[in-house]
Amino acid sequence: MTQTPEITDSHCHIDFPDFENQVEQIIENAADAGVTRMVTICTRLKNEPKVRKLAEDHAPVFYAAGTHPMSAAEEPLTSVEELVKLAQHPKFVGIGETGLDYHYTAESAEIQKQSLRIHIAAARETQLPLIIHSRAADDDMAQILTEEYKAGAYPCVMHCFSSGPELAKAAIDLGFYLSMSGIATFPKSQEVRDIFAVAPVDRILVETDSPYLAPKPFRGKRNEPAYTVHTAKVGAELFGMDYPSFAAQTQENFDRLFAKAAKYEDAA
């Protein structure tokens, strides 16, 4: 009997109302598909206790926390100290998501930039990966990430990457990672697939961003961590790899970037 390859959903939101009273089933579905770990992301720090409890109650779940750029103008501005303190939890494995979103919330660009720089400083201090959301802000994002990196190195993943090739190159040149979401499976996303295809395979992660962006063949429905597999199979095709080999490569990549999660599992 062939063993199902293991894979990690590096970015999901299982605390969202879409999954209310269904978390156990969602985790079971994921395990059946070979998705043995997931990082659930807190996007408003006032919800951190709820997200933390999900990680505490479920072995496959790790978590990260930050202020989403689209909420930056509505939420109290966090501090480096607050984020560093949260990061002491053994299952807190990333800073964010944070970033810039000028598609929906361009009017709050300045507070988004301020928030982003605070999160970068926390990632630099903790050496936990910065989790970046970037939409319609490629030039500012590349400039800030590069400028801040020169001030002191930090690890980073460009979550749900769907920006342009210039930002992808800037991120890769800094040693960052690109995360592939269900967008890469959409018929009209050839440009995104082309960007991933020329990136180093040892810098690629996979994710769902569930409950959003369900990959084919579930597009338009609620996404969930089990569906990471469908995105990863497209990734395997892009890199000319069989699925088990690509899954193993993304596992290795995840363990390298999210080293705290890997060490937690080793110690468990």
Domain locations in the chain as residue ranges: 7-267
pLDDT value of residue 266:
76
Alpha carbon distance, N-terminus to C-terminus of the chain: 27
Phi, psi values for residue 36, rounded to 5°? -95, -10
DSSP secondary-structure letter at 19?
A: G
What does each C-alpha distance from 111 to 36, 108, 211 come to in angstroms? 37, 6, 27
Q: Taking the CB of residue 3, how many other CB atoms lie within 10 A of it? A: 7
pLDDT value of residue 248:
98
Per-residue pLDDT band for 268 (boundaries 50, 70, 90) equals low
Q: Once rounded to an integer, what is the mean pLDDT over residues 93-118?
A: 98
Evaluate if pTM is beyond 0.75.
yes
- Rounded to whole angstroms, the Cα distance separating 262 from 98 reads 23
Domain 7-267 has CATH 3.20.20.140: yes
- 3-state secondary structure (DSSP) of residue 11: strand
Angle formed at CA 21 by CA 17 and CA 26, multiple of 5 degrees: 90
Per-residue pLDDT band for 73 (boundaries 50, 70, 90) equals very high
